[in-house]
Amino acid sequence: MQLLEVRKLHFNPAVPPVLDGVSLRIEPGQTVGLCGPGASGKSLLLKILCGLVRPEGGRVEIDGLDLCTCSSAALRAVQSRIGMLFQNNALFDSMTVADNVSFPLRQRAIQQGIRLDEAYVRQLVHERLRAVGLADHADKLPSQLSGGQRKRVALARAVMTRPELIIYDEPTAGLDPVTTARIYDLLRRERDETGATVIIVSSDVEALMSFAPRMVMLYRGCLRYDGPTDAMANSPDPVVRQFVRGELEGPL
């Protein structure tokens, strides 16, 4: 994946959040942390970036292809290069952990008319599950796992096909500090191994800032900050400063 570029994105649905004139340029291999108060449009922006929602205005370009106007087939071709970890994990209830993790691989093989070697798939699934510490849970259903375990399965599935762009939506929401640290450790290892471009949304700003060298902040659908993580706490914008420092007094 060469470049991800968002230009003057505009979306004003009947129900908030909205997006108003968001522009963003992400170079290959970059890790970008996306933050902002609730209902500021973070998850919506992620869904637009991977082609799940079509905005009313603006452009989302990946390698020069506009996701807003391209054909369904072209969109699916781009989506097959993106991995997404959803806020609610989006694991398929009716499938076992192993089936969930192998699902993207099997579907891609079907789409490309390739016959997969079953032993190879099993081996790969085992490796991915071992990497997230769940090798012994392959035959369980998602409902039989804890929140942190489900999140790790979703992570294993998101990176199964080694995508070039990985999008994480609240990867540690509702998890205890130790599990949160483990998840971030996994994300770091995955990033270092693959060199993929990473966009990550999290309400845990402290952990997010320790993970991403570049931060983007959305506030009421508008881009409020886009720059290095180190400079964020001293931003001249009082909204950004108050949000990062977690102060009670201020414009927020």
Nearest residue (CB) to other proteins, 145 versus 240 = 145
Nearest approach, Cβ of residue 95 and other proteins (Å) = 10
Nearest residue (CB) to other proteins, 111 versus 144 = 111
Nearest residue (CB) to other proteins, 47 versus 137 = 47
CA distance 149 to 138: 11
Nearest residue (CB) to other proteins, 103 versus 203 = 103
215 near other proteins, rule: CB under 8 A: no
Nearest approach, Cβ of residue 6 and other proteins (Å) = 17
Binders of other proteins among residues 102 to 161 (CB under 8 A) are 103-104, 107-108, 111
Q: What is the DSSP string of 143-205?
A: GGS-HHHHHHHHHHHHTTT--SEEEEESTTTT--HHHHHHHHHHHHHHHHHH--EEEEE-S-H
CA gyration radius, the chain: 18
Q: Interface mask (CB under 8 A) for other proteins, residues 69-108, using x and -?
A: ---x---xx-xx-x-x-xxx-xxxx---------xx--xx
Count, residues near other proteins per rule CB under 8 A: 23
Contact 53, 11 (CB under 8 A): yes
Nearest in space to 196 (alpha carbons), one of 80, 29, 50: 29
Nearest approach, Cβ of residue 67 and other proteins (Å) = 12
Nearest approach, Cβ of residue 143 and other proteins (Å) = 11
Q: What is the DSSP string of 226-252?
A: EEEGGGGGG-S-HHHHHHHHT-SSS--
Contact 121, 78 (CB under 8 A): no
Nearest residue (CB) to other proteins, 32 versus 78 = 78
Nearest approach, Cβ of residue 51 and other proteins (Å) = 8
Structure token pair of residue 128 = 């991915």
Nearest approach, Cβ of residue 71 and other proteins (Å) = 12
Binds other proteins by CB under 8 A, chosen from 47, 137, 150, 241: 47
Nearest residue (CB) to other proteins, 52 versus 222 = 52
Query: Cα–Cα distances in Å, from 234 out to 35, 189, 212?
Result: 16, 30, 17
Q: Which residue has the tokens 């990473």?
A: 198
Rounded to 10 deg, the angle between the 147-158 and 177-194 helix axes is 10
Nearest residue (CB) to other proteins, 37 versus 104 = 104
Nearest in space to 42 (alpha carbons), one of 231, 222, 229, 236: 222
In the complex, the residues that contact other proteins under the rule CB under 8 A are 47, 50-52, 72, 76-77, 79-80, 82, 84, 86-88, 90-93, 103-104, 107-108, 111
